[in-house]
Amino acid sequence: MKLGIFLVLFGQQNLEQALDTAKNAGIQAVELGTGGFPGTSHVNAAAILNDEAEIARVKNAVESRGLTISALSCHGNPLHPDVSAAKKDHDDFVATVLLAEKLGVDTVITFSGCPGESPNSKYPSWVTCPWPPDFLTVLEWQWNEIAIPYWKEQSEFCRKHGVRVAIESHPGFLVYNTETALRLRREAGDNIGVNFDPSHLFWQGMDPIECVKALADSIYHVHAKDTQIDARNTALNGVLDTKHYGDILNRSFVFRTVGYGHDDEFWKSLVSTLRVVGYDGTISIEHEDGIMSVNEGFTKAANFLNGLILKESAGEMWWA
């Protein structure tokens, strides 16, 4: 396995500076944001797609530092009911796939997307319960009429360009847990897999270790991000929480740097379980900790995970 970073974390630096920061912290692989929600702080796929000199510059900047590119990320909502919003995210995805082919990168990360509740919708509509029965009608329309046809088409497109898609399971989108991830893969194409991020699973009550076992070879990439559950706020209000992520004191859960939501035994077990199911790719640090600064959170995560991955590579296995 390799320790990586989602490089948009250092969006305030230019590409070369960000790569140096990562290299100096013991990072081996970088995940580059190329559009969608992560933005294009270092690489704008659409802008450089036909600029061979710029593509070569990006590739050389990474490789000359002894790093590799684990994935290109353009997390977006190509199923958005607003046609212009959907087109923007779809165009970013297409450009990212084509750029990945030129860079020799085999994995593109995005979200499944979420449509509205009908062809007349203005905003996405995420269904979270089966009653009243209108919700199930909406859900099946979203899957059968919008999501499956779209992703079947993208699966074929990606296959032609030697790229696979890693969908990040995320609440607010059609794919948000294990069964929805496997449903999309089963119905749209076996080159559609998962960007495994345990932080979104913790607060929904899932066990990421069991999820890894169930997802197995559909895991194409991994994010390292933790979640801290506030017992009192959850006891009062449950986990569906729409308060701003900055309202840390009152939220039911917040995202944390690895090791600050769950202890090292969990992370040891996660790394070991990933290896047992055959994953030998990158564990990419993502920082959304509202308590720690970027540098503090990244440094602590890198130090923490470097130790686990090095020991794991040396054959020391842990099980919770």
Question: What does each of the 320 residues of the chain score in pLDDT, given as a tens digit?
Answer: 999 999 999 999 999 999 999 999 999 999 999 999 988 889 999 999 999 999 999 999 999 999 999 999 999 999 999 999 999 999 999 999 999 999 999 999 999 999 999 999 999 999 999 999 999 999 999 999 999 999 999 999 999 999 999 999 999 999 999 999 999 999 999 999 999 999 999 999 999 999 999 999 999 999 999 999 999 999 999 999 999 999 999 999 999 999 999 999 999 999 999 999 999 999 999 999 999 999 999 999 999 998 888 655 555 544 43
Residues 211-237 as b/e (b if ≥16 CB within 10 A, e otherwise) read bbeebeebbbbbbbbbbbbbeebeeee
CB 115 within 8 A of CB 79: yes
Query: What pLDDT shows up at residue 41?
Result: 87
User: In the chain, what are the domain boundaries?
Assistant: 2-223+259-313
Residue 55: CB atoms within 10 A of its CB come to 17
Chain position carrying tokens 């070991």 = 272
Question: If we measure between CA atoms, which residue out of 180, 178, 239, 147 comes closest to residue 138?
Answer: 147
| Residue 43 DSSP code | -
**Distance separating alpha carbons of residues 90 and 76, to the nearest angstrom:** 8
Helix locations, 104-147, DSSP H: 134-141
Q: What are phi and psi of 29, to 5 degrees?
A: -140, 150
Q: Report the top-level CATH class of 2-223+259-313.
A: alpha beta
Chain position carrying tokens 């990244």 = 298
CB 225 within 8 A of CB 255: yes
**Distance separating alpha carbons of residues 92 and 102, to the nearest angstrom:** 15
Query: What pLDDT shows up at residue 320?
Result: 35
